[in-house]
Amino acid sequence: MRNTVLIPTYRRPPDLSRCLTALQAQTKPVDQVIVVVRDTDTETWQFLGEFPPHNLPLQIVTVTKPGVVAALNTGLTAVNGDIVSITDDDAAPHPDWLEKITAHFDSDGCIGAVGGRDWIHQGEKIETGSCAKVGRVEWFGRVIGNHHLGVGKPREVDVLKGVNMSFRTQAMGKLRFDQRMRGTGAQVHFEMAFTLALKRAGWKIIYDPSVAVDHYPAQRFDEDQRENFNEIAFTNLVHNETLVLLEHLPLLRRIIFLFWAIFIGTRDSLGILQWLRFLPSQGIIATKKLQASLRGRWQAWQSNKLIIDN
């Protein structure tokens, strides 16, 4: 099977260099590497003009719109492989990454997607925790990620993580990443809509912790600055998550999810109970997070209602 690797990048030449170098070291050579570059990103264009490909079949694709969704959808138009493996520019796939991905797809024609663990590097330290439950949407709508902490054997999941996910192009067909995802950069939860759509279509979604990349979370050049609270980014995150779940869950579970989301929530998408939990330690920030969460839920409800009405 032919492998295409797709990498969206923006203003991170040192990280992109590490990623491309890791692809050169794969035990199964990559057949096509697509790097999607913003038209205004002069730093990356200069880097790629000087980068020694060393037999890496590198193809550069230009995108004019901001955001990871536009970058990936633009890159997908150039894919010619049987498998497309997506990673971030601030990640470095392990040498056997493509070999293990291909083995999964070869083993079962019903597998539509494969993902794995991203080992997160924070300076000199690596997150070494472990979780058995990864990539699940619970019956009431809570999303469990933990892809960076997964252990155990390969198993079916509901959701993969954008830094380490691969798809059978036959399974994808004309499916593309949802352009309604909000944000001008990371567009958090964009991958959830895509993987849930594949699962609804009957394809198996596999998570294998041994399909691994090293992840060096780099600076973002948008409103979402990871650890620093930003109301717009927080609202966008909750909107994206809610919009996807409202379309994925059946009616009764959708109603239960909305009640749970408003009155309980999570540390990333606060409900009233979580607000009370964090209020003593975070003060006004907790209140702003609750307001942003409720705003995101409402905006997603309105977006979903418009779809139903139409």
Q: What is the pLDDT along the chain (310 residues), one digit of tens a residue?
A: 999 999 999 999 999 999 999 999 999 999 999 999 999 999 999 999 999 988 899 999 999 999 999 999 999 999 999 999 999 999 999 999 999 999 999 999 999 999 999 999 988 899 999 999 999 999 999 999 999 999 999 999 999 999 999 999 999 999 999 999 998 888 899 999 999 999 999 999 999 999 999 999 987 665 555 567 789 989 999 999 999 999 999 999 999 999 999 999 998 899 999 999 999 999 999 999 999 999 999 999 987 765 545 4
Q: Which residues of 196-211 are buried (b: 16+ CB within 10 A; e: fewer)?
A: bbbbeeebbbbbbbeb
Q: CB 142: neighbour CB atoms within 10 A?
A: 16
Phi, psi at residue 36, to the nearest 5°? -100, 120
- Give the pLDDT confidence score for residue 222 in this predicted structure: 54
Q: CB 43: neighbour CB atoms within 10 A?
A: 15
* DSSP assignment string, 233-280: HHHHHHHHHHHHHHHHS-HHHHHHHHHHHHHTB-SSSB-HHHHHHHHH
- Give the pLDDT confidence score for residue 277 in this predicted structure: 96
pTM of the full structure: 0.92
Distance from the first to the final alpha carbon of the chain = 41
- Give the pLDDT confidence score for residue 55 in this predicted structure: 81
- Residue 16 CA to residue 35 CA, distance in Å, equals 9
Q: CB 299: neighbour CB atoms within 10 A?
A: 17
DSSP-derived secondary structure letter, 188: T
- Residue 220 CA to residue 200 CA, distance in Å, equals 32
- Residue 69 CA to residue 58 CA, distance in Å, equals 21
Of 288, 303, 178, nearest to 234 by C-alpha is 288
For residue 250, count CB atoms less than 10 angstroms from its CB and return exposed for 0-12, middle for 13-18, buried for 19 or more.
exposed
